[in-house]
A = this chain, B = another copy of it.
Amino acid sequence: MDALLQHAGWQPLTRSEPRTVDVPDRPVVRLGVVGGGLRSAVGRTHFIAAQMGGGFRIEAGCFARDPAENERTGEYLRLPAGRVCRNPAELIDAMRGEIDALLVLTPTPDHLEQIQLALEAGLAVISEKALTASVDDCVRLRELQAANGQPLAVTYNYSGYAFVRELRARVLRGDLGRILKAVVEMPQEGFLRNDTSGQPMVPQAWRLQDGAIPTVSLDLGVHCHHLLAFLTEHEPLADWGRQASLGNFSEVIDDVECAGRLGQQGLFSMWYGKAALGHRNGLRIRLYGSEASATWYQAIPDELHLHGRSGQTQVLDFGSPDLLVANQPRYMRFKAGHPTGFIEAFANLYDDIAGMLTGIPMPAADPAYVPSIAEAERGLRFLQSVDQLSRPAS
């Protein structure tokens, strides 16, 4: 359990509200929230996912710069009067002793300052990915966190799917043999799509600027990198990259491909972007091993397709025998045969974060389930290298 924490100096919260059965008996984690107003894409998702397993309670927040949206979000959450603050500093100050962790849902460029505030105030941090907009910022956070010992988790939410975790467990057990090749793709269409009035959809303004790492990489690339490393326990090392702007917004990169080595003996290819019509979100992972291969496709998340060296093809789902992890009660909020979705994957991740923060992990939890600042840094370094590989030598 202590191993799980991996954060020197962090004291698990006091056990106050016991729980039972497959949900560990542990205290609720009290959250303050920065960002996530009702107009944002991610707020409601986080609120539901965090609270679905009972591990968290949202106590306060500054949800939006716009006072009206800020207030409305507090009302939506049925927060008591006085729990909607004007800015992160005020929130942290006002809620001292009343919250255990800060949940950071603002655009990536804003994370650094807000997380610094939280860590310095002795709060744990749960941050949307990408953790920071550059490697340098991430290093600064890492050093600060190492110094003050507060735990920090990054919400790479796709890793919460039961069958992503099942695949990881099988890869680590050696079912696939040596991973010869991994192909990860996450094509999307938002930068080419029309809306219902026939006009091109317009993304949020901050998505239409690229910094040291293109925004599309901070948005999609971090997931691809994390999943690849999470599933294989090998770190991808790119030796080729290509970045292009194919969609409506020529000022930003919206299509990235890269390739390189995965661990000692394998290869990987990766593609993500926002100009591929037909893909609401085409996240698909294919791992080709020396003994077997596996495919997982996010749109049908409760299936895992396996292909053996002798030609056998198996489809795993929640009703399959001999599952390694997907058969845990925590993943089946209802009986097999009832599809689960993204928000439950996200809730699975939150349950693990609650486990880390309270020091009382979920049954059979794997330390890798809670992505740390180290993984965030590796992802940013990877994406930075892809950016550099993509630039013409001069």
- A contact residues vs B (CB 8 Å cutoff): 17-21, 23, 25, 28, 38-39, 41-42, 44-45, 48, 51-52, 54, 72-73, 75-78, 180-181, 183, 187-189, 192-194, 196, 198, 240, 242, 244, 246, 255, 257, 259, 267, 269, 271, 275-282, 288-293, 295, 298-302, 305-322, 327, 333-344
Contacts and interface: CB of A to CB of B under 8 A. Distances in A.
B255 A277 contact: no
25 contacts: A17-B78, A20-B75, A23-B76, A45-B333, A181-B246, A183-B271, A189-B319, A193-B311, A198-B310, A240-B240, A242-B259, A246-B267, A277-B307, A278-B292, A278-B307, A280-B335, A281-B336, A298-B337, A299-B337, A300-B300, A311-B320, A313-B315, A338-B342, A339-B339, A343-B344
A45 to B, nearest CB: 5
Nearest to A52: B48
Nearest to A275: B180
Which 9 residue pairs are nearest across A and B when measured between Cβ atoms? A281-B337, A278-B307, A280-B337, A341-B341, A338-B342, A20-B72, A277-B293, A340-B341, A278-B293
Which of A48, A257, A316, A338 has the most chain B CB atoms inside 10 A of its CB? Answer: A338
A66 to B, nearest CB: 12
A317 B280 contact: yes
A317 B282 CA distance: 13
Contacts of A194: 309-311, 321
B343 A342 contact: no
Contacts of A269: 257, 271
A75 B267 contact: no
A340 B342 contact: yes
Contacts of A275: 180-181, 288
A308 B321 CA distance: 10
Contacts of A75: 17-20, 25
B318 A289 contact: no
Contacts of A278: 288, 292-293, 295, 305-307, 313
Which of A188, A277, A318 has the most chain B CB atoms inside 10 A of its CB? Answer: A277
A161 to B, nearest CB: 10
Given A259-B242, A339-B299, A54 B41 contact: no
Which of A194, A333, A341 has the most chain B CB atoms inside 10 A of its CB? Answer: A341
A10 to B, nearest CB: 23
A335 B281 contact: yes
A25 B289 CA distance: 44
Given A334-B45, A339-B300, A277 B19 contact: no
Which of A42, A77, A278, A311 has the most chain B CB atoms inside 10 A of its CB? Answer: A311
Nearest to A280: B337
